[in-house]
A and B are shown apart, each in its own frame.
Chain A
Amino acid sequence: MSKLAYVCKQFVEDVTGYLEGTLPADVVKLIDEHLADCPHCREYLREMRRIVADAGSLSDHDVEEMPADLRNRLLDAFRERDV
């Protein structure tokens, strides 16, 4: 298959499969070749990766620790169930 067979419009559809590693090896090869030639799709990929990284850093962003009294009450409830 020639490089022309793989187009930017397709990459936008395939990017998640590409990042997930679920695409067939021949498609991955086509994409890698396409990315080597296409700065715009490389930018798109970079942005998708940044979204994933941003989302990942949200888990510690703006979250409060568990209140100590709640934690103690739950631990008591767990222990009481032992008996």
Chain B
Amino acid sequence: MSYARPVAGLDFSDDNVLAKALSARDADAFAFLLDRYHAPLVRLAGQYVPSRAVAEEVVQETWLAVIQGIDRFEGRSSVKTWVFSILLNIARTWGVKEQRTIPLSATTSADDGGPAVDAHRFRRFRKAGTWKQPPDPWPDPEQQALVREELDVVWAAIEDLPGAQREVITLRDVLGCSADEVCEVLGLSEGNQRVLLHRARSKVRGAVERHYGGSDGR
């Protein structure tokens, strides 16, 4: 894969450089894009469709759409958010076909009908607002197996979240997008993005707490 390296002097991790190189049809820039975003895209696509094989197809279609759309990109957004947006559109369409539907309303509203993050808090807090059932420390994940197990619990919990929360935590925490990027890709306000992230993280924390036998109370 040595030919994927940026040409000397061109730093493709700089979004402006990357965008310019792509519109100048620099194949090294496209190779950089493939190497950098293929795996994250497969992970994201996997949340909409039932199998890895179908997720790969969704990502392949995304790359073809990127190639087709490169003339229309024109630096309106970052290359990353542009590619992620294309993937989400395609993945949602496939998700409907594959019967794993995410209601569109769930992607635009913070109120996805799920329980509020604090549904359990009356059991956990005294009237005065102090802890009644404080969080127990979790084991130190010294062993590789324990880490893996915890990561599996985290991933399963993320996959169980309502659509909009799942999209936000995946983009933010799993794929490392900034809050601004998530707002742009999902068309959310900053406030909504934060509410969804908060609910998502709180629920995932609850799942790990239950995994370690703690009193999440839900």
- Taking Cβ atoms with an 8 Å cutoff, the residues of A that contact B are 7-10, 12-13, 15-17, 20, 22, 40-41, 43-44, 46-48, 50-52, 54-61, 63-66, 70-71, 74-75, 77-79, 81-82
Contact with B130, one of A7, A20, A54, A82 (Cβ below 8 angstroms)? A7
Chain A residues positioned under 8 Å from B194 (CB to CB): 16-17, 20, 22
Q: A9, B174: Cβ atoms under 8 Å?
A: no
Bound CA–CA A58/B198 (angstroms): 19
Bound CA–CA A60/B36 (angstroms): 12
Bound CA–CA A43/B137 (angstroms): 7
Encode contact with A along B199-216: 1 for CB under 8 Å, 0 otherwise: 001101100110000000
Q: B137, A55: Cβ atoms under 8 Å?
A: no
At the interface, yes or no: B121 with Cβ under 8 Å from chain A?
Answer: yes
Top 10 nearest A-B pairs (CB, nearest first) are: A7-B129, A55-B173, A40-B134, A16-B198, A9-B129, A66-B38, A63-B39, A9-B125, A78-B30, A54-B154
Contact with B135, one of A13, A47, A78 (Cβ below 8 angstroms)? A47
Q: Size class of B's contact patch? A: 35 or more
Judged by DSSP, the binding face of A is helix
Closest-by-CB residue of B relative to A6 is: B129
- Taking Cβ atoms with an 8 Å cutoff, the residues of B that contact A are 25, 27, 30-31, 34-35, 38-40, 42-43, 56, 60, 63-64, 67-68, 70, 117-118, 121, 125, 128-131, 134-138, 148, 150-151, 154-155, 158, 169, 173-176, 179, 190, 194, 197-198, 201-202, 204-205, 208-209
